[in-house]
Homo-oligomer: A and B are copies of this chain.
Amino acid sequence: MRILLVGAGGVGDAIAKIAARRSFFEVMVVSDFDLTRAERTIAWIEAKHGSQRGRFVAAQIDASDPDRVAAVAREHGATHVMNAVEPKFVLTVFAGALAAGADYVDMAMSLSEPHPTHPYEESGVKLGDDQFAQAADWETADRLALVGMGVEPGLSDVFARFAADNLFNEIDELGTRDGANLVVRDENGAEMFAPSFSIWTTIEECLNPPVVWEKERGWFTTPPFSEPEMFDFPEGIGAVECVNVEHEEVLLMPRWVDAKRVTFKYGLGDEFIGILKTLHQLGLDSTTPLSVRSSGGPVQVAPRDVVAAALPDPATIGPRMTGKTCAGLWVTGTGTDGTPREVYLYHVSDNEWTMAEYDAQCVVWQTALNPVIALELLSLGLWTGTGVLGPEAFDATAFLDLMALPIAQGGYGQRWGLEDRLTGG
Contacts and interface: CB of A to CB of B under 8 A. Distances in A.
A204 to B, nearest CB: 16
Contact of A275 (B282, B296, B307): B282
A385 to B, nearest CB: 38
Contacts of A301: 292-294, 299, 301, 306
Main secondary structure of the interface of A (DSSP, over half): mixed
Contacts of A300: 294-296, 299
Interface residues of A, number: 29
A228 interface: no
A284 B278 CA distance: 12
Contact of A278 (B274, B295, B306): B274
Contacts of A290: 306, 309-310
A39 to B, nearest CB: 23
Interface in A254-283: 274-275, 278-279, 281-283
Nearest to A298: B309
Nearest to A193: B281
A278 B271 CA distance: 9
Contact of A295 (B282, B289, B295, B311): B289
How many identical subunits does the complex contain? 2
A401 interface: no
A309 B294 contact: no
A205 to B, nearest CB: 18
The residue in A289, A292, A307 that gathers the most chain B C-beta atoms within 10 A of its C-beta is: A292
A293 B305 CA distance: 7
Contacts of A299: 294, 296, 299-301
A114 B296 CA distance: 28
A171 B306 CA distance: 48
A303 interface: yes
B296 A283 contact: no
A386 interface: no
A240 B219 CA distance: 43
A21 B28 CA distance: 80
Contacts of A193: 281-282
A291 interface: yes
A129 B420 CA distance: 67
A292 B309 contact: yes
Contacts of A302: 294
A286 interface: yes
The residue in A300, A301, A307 that gathers the most chain B C-beta atoms within 10 A of its C-beta is: A301
Interface of A: 193, 274-275, 278-279, 281-284, 286, 289-296, 299-303, 305-307, 309-311
9 contacts: A193-B282, A274-B274, A282-B307, A283-B311, A286-B310, A292-B306, A293-B305, A295-B300, A306-B306
